[in-house]
Structure formats: structure tokens, C-alpha cells
């Protein structure tokens, strides 16, 4: 009875807190529950602040439904809605397709550069030009083989009028150095409010490249900010170390597979895979160091500590939130709108090993509740986006495309 009374009181306090939110909306994130994670952690590391991990659970009260639009995609990796309501999807093997909300799927769009789809490589994230309705320009990330090994590469091209090919496909950026590893490419891309491209790159996983996440002369394990032509964006931070690359925006990332802009602050948020434990959600500050591999809340897959087994260091940012055990966070989006009022400004993240969609309610840049959606589907959720119709659309490694919306 004590626990029940506590939950009721806490839920009421949350409702009161959100009724005084900055946008003056009456905002109730839902019914408070026990934390959604109750499995044993891999470590005994202590969080840096209360609520940094294993926050209380939430339950959405508004009725919503999920619909499988198609199950015929082949390892989809990225999804964005076109202005007319159809969905543009990348498939890991190197294809791009257009899918109608009725489930009808186009043939593979031709004209894309070859990808190396081995292991974690392939055709990865994508985004549309802000003026796509008139210029038909698409930007995407892919794993590219070349001299010295493989790279995270960024390309752009124009969707032809008949929508069968990409015209003038051009690689505009390559994250150096190359390495034979076929792991940890990162691979998400979006436009910021200034019209520049933001890209996440992985540190390629292997021991010899892992330290490059801390090197400002390497583009691995970074958030990169460039123009549409692949040049360093104006206003990028200046790193003081010798040989710093001008395209760097933040450093110290492991394998960031999710990028999203906060709808109210326009800040960049990132999801990244930790090792065994230590998956993270980070709010990106220009010029900041997010710590990998110097600090981490995880351990090696075999169980050994990483480095000096420290979780905090001066000059290195703490994650807004972390998971142990991992959920393997991938593509993500913030929810904007009132079709499901509890979800306003919440962060939705595809969980791969977790096999669900994470919902994080956030207030003042702190997570105040977590919910797991569609866990009963038993799918590896790879990416999620909000359509211009207000619904959420998610793709899974198993080939499904879901629509999630108010019932």
C-alpha cells in the first residue's frame, strides 16, 4: 500500500510540475510506474546524479495503436517522410525505396554509390533538403570501401522526376582515417536550424582506432557539422589542440546511431551504443568532449574494465541518461504535437537488442520517466521518425514498417 500511495503522490507531483512548464500547456506525461528496467546491471558504478539511469516508469494513458504498413523491407536503416506523405527508406544492402502508407513499395532507386554492407556497414541514415519540395535533394550516410579500408561517407543527389534514380550522386565528405574494420560507423544525418548538415561517426570499434574518439585530428567518434557541399560549417567550435579538424562539433563518442533536434531548443541530441552496459543519451554542446573511451558506464564485452574504470572526469560531459544493461539505442526523434498529449517533446528511440521503442519524458534536460512501447512485437527497432501527419513511423531490422498514432 505504501508503494501505491507513493506512486499516486509522485504522479500528482509530476502533473503539477508539467502544468507549470515553459510553454504553459497542461502536460501530464502519464501514469507513474515502477522503473521499466529490473534486470541485474553489469557493473556497480554509481550514477553521477539522481535519475541518470533506471528512472521511474511511465504509462501512456491516451489510447494509441500500431499498424504494420509492410513487412517486405530488407534490413531498413533510415526513414523520412516525403512532403506528400510517402516514406523514403534506406535498406542496408544499398537500396533506397519509396513506400506508401498503404504498403505499396517502389522498386529500388538506382544511381547510388556502392556500399560496403559487411557487418555493421551499408546504406545508413538519410535526410531531406529543407527545400526538398522544389529541389528534390537527398543526403545520406554510407559505409564506403577505399584506399586503406572503410570510411563513414556522406553523399548527396537529386531524386529524378520519375523517382527511379538519384541524379548526380556525389560524395561530399569522408570521415578519416580509413580502417579495415566493418564496425561502428555511426551513420545518422540531419539538418540543423542554420541549414547545415550534422553527421554522427563511430570510432570503428577496434582497439587501435578507439583512442581516436579523443583525437581532434581524426573524424572518428565525432559529431561533424558541414555545409551542403561538405565544407566545415561556419560557427563550428575551435578546438585548441594541434591539427584540429574544422568540421568537428563534438568529440568522444563511441557508436552514435541516433540524432535528433529538440523541437523547442533546436539543440542536437545523440544516442550512442555503449559496450557491455553504458548506452547513452547525450545533449550536444559545441566543442564538448563526451568522454569515450576515457570515461564510461560500461565494461568490455568479456567483462574486463575499460581503461581506468572511471565514470567522471573534469572537462568531460556526463550523459543525460544511460542504460545498464544495454538496450542498443539507434535512430530517434522528438515528438511534437498533441495527438498523444503525454508525448509532447518526448524522445522516442529505436532499441535493437532491447526490442522495443524507448519513450523518454524530459524536463529541463533531465529524464523524468521512461516507457517501453511495442515490446510485444519482438522486433529490433532501427529508426523512428515523425511524419508531417503527426504519427510516428518506425522500421525494424526484420523488415517491418510501423505506423504508431492516436487510436
Mean pLDDT confidence for 201-215:
98
Residue 27: predicted pLDDT: 72
- Quote the cell numbers at residue 61: 494513458
Average pLDDT score, the chain: 94
Residue 266's SS3 state is coil
Q: What is the mean pLDDT of residues 182-202?
A: 98
Rounded to an integer, the average pLDDT of 171-198 is 98
Provide the pLDDT for residue 26: 54
- How does 175-210 read in b/e, with b if 16+ C-beta sit within 10 Å? bebbbebbbbbbbbbbbbeeebbbbbbbbbbeeebb
Say if CB 17 and CB 29 are below 8 A apart: no
Q: What is the mean pLDDT of residues 342-366?
A: 98
Catalytic residues: 184
Query: Is the predicted pLDDT of residue 199 greater than 90, yes or no?
Result: yes
Question: pTM of the full predicted structure?
Answer: 0.94
Is the confidence at residue 5, as pLDDT, over 70?
A: no
Which residue from 286, 221, 297 is spatially nearest to 252, judged by alpha carbons? 221
Question: Looking at the predicted structure, is the pLDDT value of residue 9 above 80?
Answer: no
The answer to whether 247 and 263 have CB atoms below 8 angstroms apart is no
Question: Would you say residue 11 has pLDDT above 90?
Answer: no
- Which pLDDT band holds residue 1 (cuts at 50, 70, 90)? very low
Domains of the chain in start order, with CATH, are 1-32 (no CATH), 79-340 (2.120.10.30)
More confident residue, 121 or 16: 121
**Tally of CB atoms within 10 A around 107:** 10
Amino acid at each position: 500500500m505504501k508503494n501505491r500511495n507513493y506512486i499516486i503522490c509522485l504522479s500528482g507531483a509530476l502533473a503539477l510540475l508539467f502544468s507549470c512548464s515553459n510553454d504553459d500547456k497542461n502536460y501530464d506525461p502519464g501514469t507513474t510506474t515502477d522503473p521499466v528496467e529490473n534486470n541485474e546491471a553489469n557493473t556497480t558504478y554509481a550514477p553521477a546524479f539522481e535519475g541518470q539511469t533506471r528512472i521511474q516508469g511511465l504509462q501512456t494513458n491516451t489510447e494509441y495503436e500500431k499498424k504494420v504498413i509492410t513487412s517486405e523491407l530488407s534490413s531498413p536503416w533510415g526513414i523520412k517522410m516525403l512532403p506528400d506523405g510517402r516514406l523514403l527508406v534506406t535498406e542496408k544492402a544499398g537500396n533506397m525505396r519509396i513506400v506508401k502508407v498503404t504498403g505499396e513499395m517502389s522498386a529500388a532507386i538506382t544511381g547510388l554509390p556502392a556500399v560496403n554492407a559487411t557487418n555493421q556497414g551499408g546504406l545508413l541514415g538519410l535526410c531531406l533538403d529543407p527545400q526538398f519540395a522544389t529541389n528534390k535533394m537527398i543526403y545520406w550516410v554510407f559505409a564506403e570501401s577505399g584506399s586503406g579500408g572503410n570510411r563513414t561517407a556522406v553523399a548527396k543527389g537529386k531524386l529524378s522526376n520519375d523517382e527511379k534514380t538519384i541524379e548526380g550522386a556525389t560524395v561530399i565528405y569522408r570521415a578519416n582515417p580509413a580502417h579495415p574494420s566493418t564496425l561502428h560507423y555511426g551513420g545518422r544525418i540531419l539538418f540543423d536550424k542554420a541549414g547545415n548538415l550534422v553527421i554522427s561517426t563511430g570510432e570503428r570499434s577496434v582497439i587501435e582506432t578507439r583512442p581516436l574518439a579523443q583525437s581532434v585530428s581524426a573524424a572518428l567518434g565525432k559529431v561533424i557539422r558541414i555545409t551542403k557541399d561538405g565544407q566545415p560549417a561556419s560557427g563550428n567550435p575551435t578546438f585548441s589542440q594541434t591539427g584540429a579538424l574544422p568540421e568537428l562539433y563534438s568529440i568522444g563518442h563511441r557508436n552514435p546511431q541516433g540524432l535528433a533536434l529538440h523541437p523547442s531548443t533546436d539543440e542536437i541530441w545523440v544516442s550512442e551504443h555503449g559496450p557491455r552496459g553504458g548506452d547513452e543519451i547525450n545533449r550536444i554542446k559545441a566543442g564538448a568532449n563526451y568522454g569515450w573511451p576515457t570515461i564510461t558506464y560500461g565494461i568490455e564485452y568479456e567483462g574486463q574494465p575499460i581503461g581506468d574504470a572511471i565514470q567522471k572526469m573534469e572537462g568531460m560531459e556526463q550523459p543525460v541518461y544511460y542504460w545498464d544493461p544495454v538496450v542498443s539505442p539507434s535512430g530517434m526523434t522528438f515528438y511534437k504535437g498533441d495527438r498523444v498529449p503525454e508525448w509532447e517533446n518526448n524522445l522516442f528511440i529505436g532499441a535493437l537488442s532491447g526490442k522495443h521503442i524507448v519513450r523518454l519524458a524530459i524536463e529541463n534536460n533531465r529524464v523524468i520517466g521512461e516507457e517501453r512501447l511495442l515490446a510485444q512485437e519482438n522486433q529490433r527497432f532501427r529508426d523512428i521518425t515523425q511524419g508531417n501527419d503527426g504519427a510516428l513511423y518506425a522500421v525494424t531490422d526484420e523488415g517491418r514498417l510501423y505506423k504508431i498514432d492516436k487510436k
